[in-house]
A and B are shown apart, each in its own frame.
Chain A
Amino acid sequence: MSRRIIVPFGPQHPVLPEPIHLDLVLQDERVVEAIPSIGYVHRGLETLVAKREFPEYVYIAERTCGICSFIHGMTYCQAVEQVMNLEVPDRALFLRTIWSEYSRMHSHLLWLGLFADALGFENLFMASWKLREFVLDVLEETTGGRVIQGSCKVGGVRRDIPGETLDRMVSDLSCFERDLKELAHVFLRDESIIARTRGVGVLSRDDAYYMGAMGPTARGSGVAIDLRETGYAAYGKMNFRPVVEMDGDCYSRCAVRMKEVIASVDLIRQAAGKIPEGEIEVKPKGNPDGECFSRAEQPRGELVHYIKGDGSRHLVRSRIRTPTLTNLPPLVKMLGGCELADVPVIVLSIDPCIGCMER
């Protein structure tokens, strides 16, 4: 038995696009314990509610995270709408659903690329990011922004997608889906990926549940939690089942995300088929007075926005709970007992979004 040593991992590390620091307690090549420390990206944006009026705060909420920006804006709007009893038009709800799913595809493809890169499979990184550009082009065409869209507002959405554009989006999806399936074939069948990910960083179903894992991290361990089943936006009108894998290892979490991209294509098709004509927004009257929790499924799991208003133009409090924070305890659990060389793969497998987590 050799003595224990501590190896620092991060905050600036080649595999991490964002800063997080882990102290890895090692015995030989095995990780005995991982101690995370955070705070490198903390800005304190929740306090900006005191300085921005509630309709403007949507833009701040969107900038919580540049990857799931649309879903942040939407969840905040949902909370305000609920407090103000606004009846959002159906067309706006469907448009929100469509943009949410495009955001999810872009986030998952981004992650798949980074994951491939962490495995040393650079070609696959390029292939994933090439497909992601298709999604970003659609987002840019319909909202005006590639990663920060700014298309959600309190009471609806800022702009409509014309019928012919929607038809073209749907017809373009079939070509995209074919490419996705080729990509999925590599991610799910490639020998080297299987060798690096099967049985690595296992999280049992009970641990996932009791430690509060969310999103693909939970679903990869067989816990079927998906907030989209609660039917926010237009998800209640969709035919939808969460993607669940049972093994709880890095391969399962990768498979969940890969299959969810394909499921998103289907959801967009359904939404485009069912979208009704009509208004895209209602004008909010008065100011929010009261409090509300609003939940939505981010690409990484459950996102909660809490707001409290006192009848003035400024909210009293905004509180955001993001999935990466709840996925950290499961991550620490997964890292216990793994080999040092597997640490980058395991850390990436929860899809950490530090920008969200620290706000």
Chain B
Amino acid sequence: MSTLSKSPWILHYDASSCNGCDIEVLACLSPLYDVERFGIINTGNPKHADVLVITGGVNEQNREVIKNLYHQMPDPKVVVAVGICASSGGVFRECYNIVGGIDCLIPVDVYVPGCAARPESIIDGIVKALSILEEKKEKMALPVRVASGGEQ
């Protein structure tokens, strides 16, 4: 395990969730579940974050916000879709303003089921995401051929 997954920083964004999953994500930080024991810290700055945790589905207003947050995060990064709405749109799938789950916009690595997702399953999802983060990091570390400069 590298330093990256020993202290992953999380960026939480509420896409169009009902709040149920959001408060369960926050509950993970409370003394009972306390994810800081895994070195996980909730940050508000996308440039500091390794894991993007999204609750709720994509709607017309927030699709640009989600794309922005995702592209601002440094590589390697993983996306965890928390709750059924983030995974597929859930009960709101048929609403006129819902485009669908997060994966219709950005690649998702881990889907956490539940309505609302329980803190235990959220923690499980994030821990699963950490191994994916490691894999991505290893792939990045492969030697890449660098152009030797000049016009070609």
Please tell me if B31 contacts chain A, counting CB pairs below 8 Å. Answer: yes
Please tell me if A278 contacts chain B, counting CB pairs below 8 Å. Answer: no
Chain A neighbourhood of B77, CB < 8 A: none
Over the window 87-111 of chain B, the binary record of Cβ atoms lying under 8 Å from chain A Cβ atoms (1 yes, 0 no) is: 0000110111110000000000000
Cβ-neighbour of A59 out of B23, B43, B69, B91 (below 8 A): B91
Distance in Å from the Cβ of B140 to the closest Cβ of chain A?
26
Over the window 33-67 of chain A, the binary record of Cβ atoms lying under 8 Å from chain B Cβ atoms (1 yes, 0 no) is: 00000011111110110010000000110011111
Please tell me if B115 contacts chain A, counting CB pairs below 8 Å. Answer: yes
Cα separation A60 to B116 with both chains bound (whole Å): 13
Are B16's CB and A41's CB within 8 A? yes
Are A355's CB and B62's CB within 8 A? no
Distance in Å from the Cβ of A212 to the closest Cβ of chain B?
23
Please tell me if A126 contacts chain B, counting CB pairs below 8 Å. Answer: yes
Distance in Å from the Cβ of B62 to the closest Cβ of chain A?
5
- How many residues of A sit at the interface, in one of the four size bands? 35 or more
| New contact pairs (8) apart from A14-B43, A41-B15, A132-B30, CB-CB < 8 Å | A17-B22, A17-B26, A41-B17, A43-B92, A43-B97, A48-B95, A66-B116, A126-B30
Cα separation A358 to B152 with both chains bound (whole Å): 54
Please tell me if B44 contacts chain A, counting CB pairs below 8 Å. Answer: yes
Interface residues of chain B: helix, strand, loop or mixed (majority): loop
Chain A neighbourhood of B30, CB < 8 A: 113, 126, 129-130, 132-133
- List residues of chain B with CB under 8 Å of any chain A CB: 12-24, 26-27, 29-32, 43-46, 56-57, 59, 61-62, 65, 69, 91-92, 94-98, 115-116, 118
Chain B neighbourhood of A147, CB < 8 A: 20, 23-24, 116
Are A41's CB and B23's CB within 8 A? no
Distance in Å from the Cβ of B123 to the closest Cβ of chain A?
14
Known A-B contacts A12-B13, A41-B56, A146-B24; A18 and B65 likewise in contact (beta carbons under 8 Å): no
Chain B neighbourhood of A47, CB < 8 A: 95-96
Cα separation A147 to B118 with both chains bound (whole Å): 9
Are B17's CB and A45's CB within 8 A? no
Distance in Å from the Cβ of B69 to the closest Cβ of chain A?
6
Q: List 20 A-B contacts (CB under 8 A).
A: A14-B44, A15-B44, A17-B12, A17-B14, A18-B22, A19-B13, A40-B62, A41-B16, A42-B16, A43-B16, A43-B98, A44-B98, A59-B91, A60-B91, A63-B92, A66-B21, A66-B23, A129-B29, A130-B32, A355-B14
Are B94's CB and A51's CB within 8 A? yes
Chain A neighbourhood of B19, CB < 8 A: 17-18, 65-67, 353, 355-356
Distance in Å from the Cβ of B86 to the closest Cβ of chain A?
13
Chain B neighbourhood of A130, CB < 8 A: 30-32
Are B97's CB and A42's CB within 8 A? yes
Please tell me if A315 contacts chain B, counting CB pairs below 8 Å. Answer: no
Cα separation A44 to B93 with both chains bound (whole Å): 10
Please tell me if A13 contacts chain B, counting CB pairs below 8 Å. Answer: yes
CB contacts under 8 Å to B, within A172-193, are none
Distance in Å from the Cβ of B33 to the closest Cβ of chain A?
9
Please tell me if A11 contacts chain B, counting CB pairs below 8 Å. Answer: yes
Chain B neighbourhood of A110, CB < 8 A: 23, 26
